[in-house]
Structure 1
Amino acid sequence: MAKPGKKRARAASGARAGSRSEEPGEGGVDEAVAFIAEQVGALRKLAERHKLDVLHYLLGMTKLEADEHLRLRSKRKLS
């Protein structure tokens, strides 16, 4: 457990912390959000199957947010 006033070290992720730029060879924001939406959908089904109501609800909200993000991005691209 971290002591008060000290920050825990983050694991190296290969990208700068807080960086929103895309690294070469990685998908863009839309691809990341689509992947998250797909995975959250599967996790939501798992939570439902095991009657984990709060997780089911929260994962549903996360899926809605990801889908909305994709919808708005595609709408902006059409303009």
Structure 2
Amino acid sequence: MAKPGKKRVRAASGAEARSRNEEPGEGGVDEAVTFIAEQVGALRKLAERHKLDVLHYLLGMTKLEADEHLRLRSKRKLS
């Protein structure tokens, strides 16, 4: 039960929630994942060059996850 004098805050719909969480000039989810995939790829090469095996592996898994996310999103958009 709400306390007297306080109004309940209604949860925002999906579009409203997304727009408040994004900084001005940011793209959407796809652009963010693309950017992450590119940066992780560069970091993975750096980790490999310095023989940081665990970081190389983890960054590779992150790259795979980002690529998979993009693949599934583009597949849904085609449907």
TM-score, normalised via structure 2 length: 0.72
Q: Which structure has the highest helix share of the two?
A: 2
For residues 16 and 73 of structure 1, do their structure 2 counterparts lie closer, same or farther at Cα, with a shift above 3 Å needed?
A: closer
Deviation at 1:18, TM superposition (A): 9.8
Percent of aligned pairs with the same residue? 94
- The number of residues matched between the two structures is 79
- Structure 2 vs 1, CA of residues 41 and 3 (structure 1 numbering), >3 Å: closer, same or farther? farther
- Farther-moved stretch of structure 1 (20-29 vs 43-52): 20-29
1:3 Cα offset (Å): 31
Larger Rg: 2
Q: RMSD of the TM alignment (CA)?
A: 8.2
Question: CA shift at 1:15, angstroms?
Answer: 14
**Residues 14 and 43 of structure 1: CA distance in aligned 2, closer, same or farther (over 3 Å):** farther
Structure 2 unaligned spans of 5+: none
Call closer, same or farther: CA 1:25–1:13 in 2, change over 3 Å.
farther
Unaligned runs of 5+ in 1: none
Q: Per-residue deviation at 1:2?
A: 32
Deviation at 1:26, TM superposition (A): 1.4
- Are residues 14 and 58 of structure 1, via their aligned partners in 2, closer, same or farther at CA, if it must alter by over 3 Å? same
Tell me the TM-score normalised to structure 1 length: 0.72
